[in-house]
Amino acid sequence: MIATMAEDIQVGPLAIRFLIDGEASSGSATVFEFTVPAGSRVPVPHSHDAYEETIYGLDGELTWTVDDEEIGVAPGQAICIPRGVVHGFENRGTVDARALAVVTPGVLGPEYFRDLRAVVEAAAGPPDPAAIAEVMQRHGLTPAP
């Protein structure tokens, strides 16, 4: 068994550090840290039908909107986002926020973030929303209308 795979992926201002992917966990979980700079652009609200996502706050505070309810996740706090529930997040604070994400089962992998990075890096300005939506859908995320 592989204890950690540690891969860093930068998508615009967001930093993702993969620790364990589905292959390393025999499909049971994917685990990654992510850092959201204060005031940065974040992914559009979305849902996913194939997995739950549990977020544990490490530094700063992220504001999550889950099914139209706002929930702050600060260090030591956690939130579980069930399958099919529309959610999004933002860093409204003045310091960078960092959190740990646990995806169960481990069907979301680093490929998703690599593909997003490619779309962001190919854009001369803001990335094409249709291209972002295509990547999301290809990896099991459904952008909210």
Q: Concatenate the DSSP letters of all residues of 81-100 into one string.
A: E-TT--EEEE--SSS-EEEE
Token couple for 40: 């940065």
Return the CATH number of 7-143, one of 3.40.50.1950, 3.30.420.40, 2.60.120.10, 2.60.40.420. Answer: 2.60.120.10
C-alpha distances out from residue 70 to 3, 37, 106, 123, 125, Å = 34, 19, 26, 31, 30
Measured in residues, the chain has a length of 145
The answer to whether the CB of 98 falls within 8 A of the CB of 60 is yes
CA dihedral 114, 96, 89, 57 (to 10 degrees): 100
pTM of the model: 0.91
- Residue-wise pLDDT for 88-142, tens only, equals 999 999 999 999 999 999 999 999 999 999 999 998 888 899 999 999 999 999 9
pLDDT confidence band for 43 (50 / 70 / 90) = confident
Task: Look at residue 3 in the predicted model and tell me its pLDDT.
Answer: 55
Task: Look at residue 88 in the predicted model and tell me its pLDDT.
Answer: 94
Query: How far, rounded to the nearest angstrom, does the alpha carbon of residue 46 sit from its chain's CA centroid?
Result: 10
> Is residue 137 classed as helix, strand or coil in its secondary structure?
helix
The ranges assigned to domains in the chain are 7-143
Alpha-carbon gap, residue 112 to 22, rounded angstroms: 13
